[in-house]
């Protein structure tokens, strides 16, 4: 990355005297970065430490466990944790797949086609997006309930709600498609390709960063949803996602027995998301800069 | 506000130029709003004209239509079926049958109940045989409202389809008269992957949006005009009914008993805006700063620094933020550390006092926001044309000058729309506030308003608190939701009208 | 080339609608056996109990199936929902809610108002009322009618302390405890700032009361609240002593002992945790006294309890079977069993006098504190929100008499506003007279049906000669009958009463 990145005035710095100044400023930057890293990592490590604490199971006022062990992780298996984990994983995978398809359909269409209601449609969706999502929680619950998709069946219900409105998140990837030259499409059209073929054979292979970006964000979303998912699962353990399940361990009657397990569960949740994110970070950056801000 | 010509403008000093620009920003707000209303007015005018035209067209279709076209007024799809478009004809006909079936079986009932939202609530009766009470439930206001709205949607869809059916009958008739070939079902299907490919692509996403976004929003807007709450849930305790504008009156009127609500609303709105402003710009500038530090030539382990920061994105917020809020508690490890070091004698009131709590949440929000911004800014910095810097260097511009003359303007230009979405996103940033402070510390002035409002509550957390609060005043939650929309929409519209970079999407292609 | 899309879309909606039509069916008993066992049958039900009470509840339901002689077989799913959350969760969706559930007393009124509780039958009422502590029975009743089964009477709070910081000699005095804590740089945890339930302790200590009145349907009609009084001011002064201390912590978690607390005011549910943390240093005591103007005031408390509720049923048989089960779950033996396994303090009078119960140090302290406590009664849901800000207000006042008075005044304004009617309600018309068995002592609602037309909500069986009037705002300032006289009914019949206004006067007509 740094190779492309030569905006800073290296030429000028070659002059005598500047070198020393540069060294000082670099040292300052290192100090700042080290301090920042510590600040950023403290909560992370504290949570990990708590999860290895064996001597007590409630919230403790100290950071380092007196006795280390894997008890909390082992005990997770005795609860519904893995059920919640599986639920969330299923939701995340299905949502990632379907949401990506929908977002791509939507953004490609709005970027490439010029049809009568296009502008109106975009404005309409912009307006819809300005309503707070929290507002419609009650009614979505009732609709899903009438469809039999709440409580123990909350998983399909949540998938449905997550993907149903995902078309409105077309903005970032539309920005990306806007940067792909239209001449490519036109050339292919002249060669006799249908619109569908153009999308499938020409545009999609070029859109790898944005596809991965969309998958990544769609996959990460369901892991952290604890408000809406809680409403939909309505205290039924079988329908909870991992966030709702873990939150239930913080209620008054459970926190004293489950707090360290809560931390352990949190660490287990963070692992796949972290790995995925670190591996695909490059695409995240490309996607978001290529799309969100039309670089 | 004076208007300067280009030449006059160039003669101004830097400060004057800034003042001039700033002044113009604000003086253009009224005209932007004016334009907005003019646009809305024009839109309505267009709509009315369109309906008028449509009616005229329907009339002429009937007058000029042959038997088949006239028949299409009653039997949908006749104009297609009789002229060889079997696929379309069947779809039209099927839709009509389903519509009529639905309306006769249930739709008419929901529609007829909609004005009253139900007549009879539940009743309890003592059963002496079992020595127990038996409850009989009757009308369900909630379902009446929900299915009433759905039925109206359905009717609109029907009218639209009916209209399309007429237009097609007319076109088919004209084409037959002129002896042209009428498109077959096969043609239709082929066109769906080619020139009408967009219809195929949009069908699924739009269906989802209509059912799971538009319908719920319409429903919740209507709820704001009822008295739907925990003790009028429409089925189990008592029915709810229409109350007109009373709820808006409660929330916004400045006199009488509504006072608590309007004062609370004003206070929460003000804080929401302050919060959104600081949360957005502190992250923006600090994120940019961090990105530039990491990207600076000569700094090693670039990837390592980024990875450390990015770790915080990967841990779900409900875990990390809950822990952070515990860290800053009165007896949390931050205060404990400071006291052990002897730097303070008594605990700092991070979440205890209004001003402290507000500053603390803004600071912690930086902790959350910087990694995102850093990633984005890194990407943009790579895209700034290198020759801009080259020529600047030749001119002998200092690092600071390069930043203010090249980097910053470029960034601001590119990220303008992103800033707007960030701002509105922060106005609705539920997680950070809810998990860190739960809205606290409590605000004694607002205690009479439903939902126990605190000093760090945003409108959206207030909405949540009203919904789940002691009295479950759903109607007030709805009002708050609508008001959030109004505020956010106004801000977005004004800024979008003033920003250059969003106006022309084609410019970037 | 038109809009196949529109059709597809509409079709999807239709199928959506069709799918929406299916409501959930009720389980009905499967077999009807002989008449001597009218309740015999298998019932599928859902139960909510706190996580730690889950297994015991399952076991007790099994026991019920084995021992009941009515042929009732209960197939129950027991879901873990804490007593504190049950109310909110239940109200969110009563239909999906449990048939039988445990809940903390503070949610009682909300649940009654929401239609989520089924009244007890006459027989059950009598048995339950006689067997249990009157305070707890009152907690589950409205104007003498029981709506839920008393299950525990241990939902109160008392003081845990660290003997190594606070000497036993000091525990009776708030001032001394605060001084000990400050000297040791340890926290005094008392959740005054975020919970009205704890905060009320100060006001009860000086003899203040907050009593709420309800009609028979559980709707609030008024309140007798004297927090804003001379005694209230004393309470506020006492409270200021604690909340102004830098070592006051607004929390009620037993685990705070590990985070620098030396005193925590909480309840029985934290007993085990505190004991594990403090070991031999654990002390339990009644709440202390505070001194204002040379006089001692012992802190009061709320004497709360846990109740078991039954959801209203449409099937009388199922309802009766559920009530049998609920009564079983809260009888003497079950309460004792719960005490033995979970240390939950019983509400049953016989169980309360059991020696083992009396010997439990936590419960003994709680029952001692009960001498200063007030039964929780039926408190308006909004009170919890309005009450809890007093402490913040008191803290911000700086302790000046004026500031404290302002804090109390603010509280009272908010309480008064709860019963303030909107303009529209104030100006509503009602029917009053010798109608429907009443004798000029009850207002019957009317509904506005047009600009100048009001109609009675109910229909009345009127006899010729019955007299009534319509009045505005439930007072006699403005009333209309036959002009200024009472309206006289001319012929028997069932009528809707219609009032048509014109300016200051109006006419009454009867509609069949």
Q: Which of B7-21, B450-464, C243-257, C452-466 has the lowest mean pLDDT?
A: B7-21
Residue C318 lies in a domain: yes
In tens, the pLDDT along A126-184 reads 888 889 988 888 889 988 988 888 888 899 999 999 998 888 888 888 888 887 888 88
Does A148 lie in the same domain as A130?
A: yes
In this structure, the answer to whether residues C370 and C277 fall within a common structural domain is yes
Output DSSP code: residue B257: G
* Inter-chain touch C22–A145, beta carbons under 8 Å: no
pLDDT reported for residue C17: 46
The region, left, alpha or beta by phi > 0 then psi within -120 to 50, assigned to residue B452 is: left
Region label for C420, one of left (φ > 0), alpha (ψ between -120 and 50) or beta (otherwise): beta
Domain membership of residue C225 (yes or no) is: yes
Does C172 share its domain with C216? yes
In a domain, B468, yes or no: yes
- What are the phi and psi torsion angles at C47 (to 5°)? -130, 140
Structure tokens at C382: 């909004």
What's the mean pLDDT when you consider all of chain B? 85
**Is C438 part of any domain?**
yes
Question: B86 and B232: one domain?
Answer: yes
Residues A123 and A242 in one domain: yes
Of A56, A237, A255, the CB nearest to C276: A56
Structure tokens at A86: 């599986």
Residue C88 bridge partners (DSSP)? none
- Give the Å distances, CA to CA, from B40 to A119, B35, B481, B505: 15, 9, 22, 22
Contacts of B228 (CB under 8 A, 6+ apart): B141, B142, B234, B240, B474, B475
A236/C255 Cβ within 8 A: no
From A55, A73, A91, give the residue that closes a domain: A73
B334 and B214 in a single domain? The answer is no
CB spacing of A61 vs C22 below 8 angstroms: no
- Do residues B100 and B211 both lie within one domain? yes
For residues C86 and C166, membership in a common domain is answered with no
- What is the sign, positive or negative, of the torsion defined by CA atoms of B441, B447, B453, B456? negative
C315 interfacial to chain A (CB closer than 8 Å): no
Domain match, C98 and C247 both: no
| C252 phi and psi angles, rounded to 5 deg | -135, 35
Of B45-49, B161-165, B380-384, C295-299, give the lowest mean pLDDT range: B380-384
E strand map for C8-157:
41-49, 72-80, 100-104, 141-142, 145-146, 149-155
Helix, strand, coil share of chain C (percent; to 5): 40, 25, 30
The reply to whether C221 touches chain B by the CB within 8 Å rule is no
Pair (A193, A86) in one structural domain: yes
Range of the domain at B357: 256-501
Q: Give C174's pLDDT tier (boundaries 50, 70, 90).
A: very high
Cβ atoms of B258 and B265 closer than 8 Å: no
Closest-CA residue in chain C for A251? C82
Same domain, C139 and C80: yes
Task: Answer whether A143 touches C (CB < 8 Å).
Answer: yes
Interface touch A278/B314, C-beta < 8 Å: yes
Please report the residues numbered 123 through 182 in chain B whose beta carbons come closer than 8 angstroms to any beta carbon of chain C.
124, 126-127, 129-137, 147, 150, 153-154, 157-158, 160-161, 164, 167-168
* C209 half-sphere exposure, CB direction, 13 A CA radius: 9
The count of residues in chain A is: 295
| Residue C439 belongs to some domain of the structure | yes
Asked whether residue A139 falls in the same domain as residue A253, the answer is: yes
- Count of domains in chain A? 2
The answer to whether the CB of C289 falls within 8 A of the CB of C173 is yes
d(C-alpha B159, C-alpha B154), whole Å = 9
Encoding tokens for residue B105?
């079986």
- From chain C, pick out residues whose CB is under 8 angstroms from the CB of A151: 96
Structural domains of chain B, count? 3
**C193 touching chain B per CB within 8 A:** yes
Give yes or no for a contact between B235 and B423, defined as CB atoms under 8 angstroms apart. no
Considering only CA atoms, which of B3, B259, B24, B235 is closest in space to residue B136?
B235
B161 pLDDT above the threshold of 50: yes
Q: For residue B489, give every residue at least 6 positions away whose Cβ sits within 8 Å of its Cβ, in sequence order, or none.
A: A127, A130
In a domain, B59, yes or no: no
Cα C320 to Cα C314: distance, rounded to the nearest angstrom: 11
Q: Which residues pair with B386 in a beta bridge?
A: none
Q: How many CA atoms lie within 13 A of B28 on its CB side?
A: 14
Closest CA to C250 of C154, C373, C391: C391
CATH number of the domain within which C436 lies:
2.60.40.3620
Q: State the smallest CA–CA distance between residue A201 and chain B in angstroms.
A: 14
**A32 and A87 together in one domain:** no
Instruction: Please indicate, yes or no, whether residues A19 and A100 belong to a single structural domain of this protein.
Output: no
Query: Do residues C192 and C199 touch, judged by C-beta distance below 8 A?
Result: yes
> Is C11 contained in some domain?
no
Query: Inter-chain contact A44–B331, Cβ cutoff 8 Å?
Result: no
**Among C373, C496, C376, residue whose Cα is nearest residue C431:** C496
State whether A59 and C22 contact (CB < 8 Å): no
Q: Can you give the pTM of this predicted structure?
A: 0.85
The verdict on B200 and B298 lying in the same domain is: no
Residues C257 and C119 in one domain: no
Structural domain including A241 reads: 79-291
The answer as to whether C10 is a domain residue is no
Give the separation between CA A272 and CA A270, rounded to whole angstroms. 6
Structural contact between residues C370 and C156, judged by C-beta atoms closer than 8 angstroms: yes
In a domain, C139, yes or no: yes
Domain check: are A202 and A272 in the same one? yes
Number of domains in chain C: 3
Cα gap B241→C432, rounded to integer Å? 24
Domain co-membership, A35 together with A92: no
Do residues B104 and B32 both lie within one domain?
no
Asked whether residue C230 falls in the same domain as residue C268, the answer is yes
Chains that touch A (3 or more CB pairs under 8 A): B, C
Interchain contact, B150 vs C4, CB within 8 Å: no
Tokens 């660490």 belong to: A267
Residues of C within 8 A of A257 (CB-CB) are: 52
Write down the mean pLDDT value for chain C.
85
Last residue of a domain, one of A30, A51, A73: A73
- State the Cα–Cα distance between residues C365 and C343, nearest whole angstrom: 14
Same domain, A148 and A229: yes
- Tell me if residue C290 falls in helix, strand or coil: strand
A115 CB near a chain C CB, below 8 Å?
A: no
Assess whether A59 and A100 both reside in one domain.
Answer: no
Cβ contacts of C94 on chain B, cutoff 8 Å: 233, 236
Using the 3D structure, point to which of A73, A108, A127 is the last residue of a domain.
Answer: A73
Number of Cβ pairs < 8 A linking chain A and chain C: 77
Tell me whether residue B507 is in a domain. no
Residue-range definition of the domain harbouring residue C240: 155-302+366-418
Contact present, C136 and C150 (Cβ < 8 Å): yes
The answer on B447 and B345 residing in a single domain is yes
How does pLDDT run across C361-408, given as a tens digit for each residue? 888 898 888 888 887 777 888 888 888 889 988 998 888 999 999 999
pLDDT digits (tens, 9 = 90+) for B53-108: 888 888 888 888 888 888 889 999 888 888 888 888 999 999 999 999 999 999 99
Residues A83, A67: one domain?
A: no
**Tens-digit pLDDT profile for residues B328-369:** 988 888 998 898 888 988 889 999 889 999 999 999 999 999
CATH of the domain at C264: 3.40.190.10
Asked whether the beta carbons of B503 and B245 are under 8 A apart, the reply is no
Examine the domain organization and report whether C74 and C90 are in the same domain.
Answer: yes
Answer yes or no: do B324 and B406 share one domain.
Answer: yes
Mean pLDDT of B159-166: 92
Q: The domain that contains A216 carries what CATH number?
A: 1.10.3720.10
Q: Are A49 and A128 contained in the same domain?
A: no
For residues C250 and C370, membership in a common domain is answered with yes
Phi, psi of B442, rounded to the nearest 5 degrees: -65, 150
Q: What is the DSSP code string of A198-240? A: IIIIIIHHHTHHHHHHHHHHHHHHHHH--SHHHHHHTT-GGG-
| In chain A, residues 16-55 whose CB comes closer than 8 Å to chain C | none
Residues B122 and B225 in one domain: yes
Nearest to C14 among B102, B238, B246 (CB): B102
User: Are B72 and B202 found together in one domain?
Assistant: yes
Q: Give the tens place of pLDDT for each residue, C442-476.
A: 778 888 777 788 888 777 888 888 888 888 877 77
Res A177: pLDDT: 84
From chain A, the residues in CB contact with C81 under 8 A are 235
Residue C410 lies in a domain: yes
Nearest Cβ partner for C320 among B132, B206, B231: B132
Per-residue pLDDT at C424: 64
Per residue in C66-106, pLDDT (tens digit) is: 998 889 999 999 988 888 888 888 888 888 889 999 999 88
What are the CB-based long-range contacts (under 8 Å, 24+) for B395-404? B396/A12, B397/A9, B399/A8, B399/A9, B402/A7, B402/A9, B403/B292
Residue of A nearest to B218 (CA): A136
Q: Are residues B413 and B270 in the same domain?
A: yes
């Amino acid at each position: 990355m740094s190779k492309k990145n030569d905006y800073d005035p290296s030429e000028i710095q070659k002059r005598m005297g500047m070198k020393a100044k540069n060294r000082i400023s670099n040292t300052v930057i290192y100090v700042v970065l080290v301090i920042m890293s510590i600040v950023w990592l403290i909560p992370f490590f504290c949570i990990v430490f708590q999860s290895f604490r064996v001597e007590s199971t409630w919230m403790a006022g100290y950071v380092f466990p007196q006795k280390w062990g894997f008890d909390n992780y082992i005990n997770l298996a005795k609860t519904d944790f893995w059920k919640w984990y599986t639920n969330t994983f299923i939701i995340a995978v299905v949502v990632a797949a379907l949401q990506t398809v929908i977002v791509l359909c939507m953004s490609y269409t709005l970027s490439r086609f010029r049809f009568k209601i296009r502008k109106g449609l975009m404005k309409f969706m912009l307006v819809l997006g300005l309503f707070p999502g929290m507002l419609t929680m009650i009614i979505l619950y009732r609709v899903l309930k009438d469809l039999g998709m709440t409580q123990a069946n909350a998983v399909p219900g949540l998938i449905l709600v997550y993907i149903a409105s995902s078309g409105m998140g077309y903005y970032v990837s539309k920005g990306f498609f806007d940067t792909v030259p239209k001449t490519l499409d036109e050339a292919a059209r002249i060669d006799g390709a249908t619109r569908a073929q153009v999308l499938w054979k020409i545009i999609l292979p070029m859109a790898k960063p944005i596809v991965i970006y969309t998958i990544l964000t769609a996959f990460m979303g369901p892991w952290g949803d604890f408000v809406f998912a809680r409403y939909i699962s309505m205290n039924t353990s079988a329908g909870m996602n991992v966030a709702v399940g873990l939150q239930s361990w913080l209620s008054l009657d459970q926190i004293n027995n489950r707090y360290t397990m809560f931390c352990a569960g949190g660490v287990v949740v963070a692992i796949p998301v972290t790995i995925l994110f670190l591996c695909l970070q490059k695409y995240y950056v490309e996607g978001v800069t290529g799309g969100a801000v039309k670089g | 506000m004076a208007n300067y010509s280009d030449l006059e403008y160039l003669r101004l000093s830097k400060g004057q130029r800034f003042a001039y620009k700033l002044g113009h920003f604000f003086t253009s707000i009224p005209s932007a709003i004016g334009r907005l209303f003019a646009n809305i007015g024009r839109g309505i005018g267009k709509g009315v004209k369109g309906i008028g035209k449509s009616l005229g067209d329907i009339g002429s279709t009937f007058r000029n239509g042959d038997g088949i076209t006239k028949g299409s007024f009653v039997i949908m799809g006749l104009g297609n079926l009789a002229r060889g478009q079997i696929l379309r004809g069947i779809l039209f006909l099927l839709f009509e049958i389903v519509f009529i079936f639905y309306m006769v079986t249930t739709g008419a009932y929901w529609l007829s109940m909609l004005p009253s939202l139900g007549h009879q609530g539940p009743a309890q009766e003592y059963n002496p045989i079992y020595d127990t009470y038996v409850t009989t439930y009757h009308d369900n206001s909630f379902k009446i409202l929900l299915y009433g709205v759905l039925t109206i949607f359905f009717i609109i869809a029907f009218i639209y389809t009916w209209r399309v059916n007429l237009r097609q009958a007319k076109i088919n008739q004209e084409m037959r008269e002129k002896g042209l070939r009428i498109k077959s079902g096969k043609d239709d299907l082929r066109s769906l992957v080619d020139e009408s490919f967009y219809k195929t692509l949009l069908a699924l996403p739009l269906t989802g949006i209509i059912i799971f976004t538009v319908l719920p929003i319409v429903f919740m807007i209507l709820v704001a005009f009822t008295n739907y709450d925990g003790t009028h849930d429409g089925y189990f305790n008592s029915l709810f009914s229409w109350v007109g504008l009373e709820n808006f009156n409660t929330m916004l009127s400045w006199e009488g008993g509504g006072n608590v609500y309007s004062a609370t609303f004003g206070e929460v709105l003000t804080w929401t805006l302050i919060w959104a402003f600081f949360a957005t710009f502190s992250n923006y500038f600090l994120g940019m700063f961090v990105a530039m530090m990491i990207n600076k030539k000569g700094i090693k382990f670039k990837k390592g620094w980024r990875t450390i920061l990015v770790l915080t994105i990967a841990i779900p917020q409900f875990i990390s933020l809950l822990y952070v809020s515990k860290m800053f508690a009165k007896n949390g490890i931050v205060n404990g550390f400071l006291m052990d070091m002897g730097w303070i004698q008594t605990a700092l009131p991070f979440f205890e006092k209004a001003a402290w709590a507000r500053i603390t949440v803004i600071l912690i929000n930086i902790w959350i926001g910087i990694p995102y911004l850093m990633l984005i800014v890194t990407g943009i910095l790579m895209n700034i044309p290198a020759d801009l810097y080259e020529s600047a260097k030749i001119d002998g511009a200092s690092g600071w000058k390069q930043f203010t003359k090249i980097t910053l303007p470029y960034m601001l230009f590119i990220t303008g729309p992103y800033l707007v979405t960030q701002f509105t996103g922060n106005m609705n940033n539920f997680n950070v506030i809810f998990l860190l402070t739960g809205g606290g510390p409590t605000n004694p002035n607002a205690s009479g308003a439903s939902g126990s409002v605190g000093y760090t509550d945003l409108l959206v957390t207030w909405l949540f608190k009203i919904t789940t609060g002691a009295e479950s005043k759903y109607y007030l939650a709805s009002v708050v939701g609508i008001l959030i929309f109004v505020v956010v929409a106004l801000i977005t519209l004004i800024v979008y009208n003033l920003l250059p970079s969003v106006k022309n999407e084609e410019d970037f292609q | 080339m038109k809009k196949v899309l529109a059709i597809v879309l509409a079709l999807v909606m239709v199928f959506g609608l069709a799918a929406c039509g299916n409501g959930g069916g009720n389980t009905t008993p499967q077999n009807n056996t002989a008449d001597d066992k009218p309740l015999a049958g298998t019932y599928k039900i859902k139960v909510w109990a706190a996580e730690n009470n889950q297994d015991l509840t399952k076991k007790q339901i099994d026991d019920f199936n084995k021992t009941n002689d009515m042929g009732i077989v209960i197939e129950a799913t027991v879901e873990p929902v804490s007593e504190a959350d049950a109310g909110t969760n239940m109200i969110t969706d009563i239909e999906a809610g449990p048939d039988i559930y445990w809940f903390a007393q503070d949610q009682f009124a909300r649940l009654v108002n929401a239609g989520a509780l089924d009244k007890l039958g006459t027989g059950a009422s009598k048995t339950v009322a006689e067997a249990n502590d009157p305070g707890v029975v009152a907690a589950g009743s409205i104007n003498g009618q029981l709506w839920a089964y008393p299950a525990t009477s241990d939902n109160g709070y008392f003081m845990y302390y660290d003997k190594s910081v606070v000497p036993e000699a000091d525990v009776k005095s708030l001032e001394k405890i605060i001084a000990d804590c400050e000297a040791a740089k340890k926290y005094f945890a008392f959740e005054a700032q975020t919970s009205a339930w704890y905060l009320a302790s100060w006001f009860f200590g000086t003899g203040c009361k907050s009593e709420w009145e309800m009609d028979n349907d559980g709707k609030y009609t008024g309140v007798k609240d004297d927090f804003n009084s001379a005694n209230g001011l004393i309470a506020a002064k006492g409270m200021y002593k604690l909340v102004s201390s830098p070592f006051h912590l607004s929390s009620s978690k037993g685990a705070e002992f590990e985070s620098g607390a030396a005193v925590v005011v909480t309840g029985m549910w934290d007993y085990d945790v505190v004991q594990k943390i403090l070991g031999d240093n654990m002390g339990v005591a009644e709440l202390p006294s505070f001194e204002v103007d040379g006089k001692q005031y012992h802190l009061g408390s709320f004497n709360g309890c846990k109740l078991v509720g039954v959801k209203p049923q449409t099937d009388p048989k199922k309802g009766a079977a559920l009530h049998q089960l609920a009564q079983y779950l809260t009888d003497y033996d079950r309460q004792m069993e719960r005490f033995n396994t979970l240390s939950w303090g019983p509400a049953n009078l016989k169980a309360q006098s059991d020696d083992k119960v009396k010997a439990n140090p936590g419960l003994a302290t709680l029952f001692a504190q009960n001498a200063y406590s007030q039964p929780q009664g039926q408190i308006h849901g909004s009170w919890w929100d309005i009450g809890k800000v007093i402490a913040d207000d008191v803290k911000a006042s700086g302790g000046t008499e004026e500031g404290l008075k302002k804090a109390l005044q603010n509280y009272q304004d908010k309480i008064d506003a709860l019963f303030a009617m909107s303009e529209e309600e104030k100006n509503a018309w009602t029917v009053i007279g010798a109608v429907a068995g009443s004798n000029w002592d009850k207002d019957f609602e009317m509904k506005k049906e047009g600009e100048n037309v009001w109609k009675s909500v109910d229909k009345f069986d009127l006899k010729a000669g019955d007299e009534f009037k319509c009045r505005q705002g439930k007072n006699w300032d403005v009333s209309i009958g036959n002009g200024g006289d009472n309206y006289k009914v001319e012929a028997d019949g069932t009528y809707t009463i219609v009032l048509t206004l014109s300016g200051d006067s109006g006419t009454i007509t009867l509609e069949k």
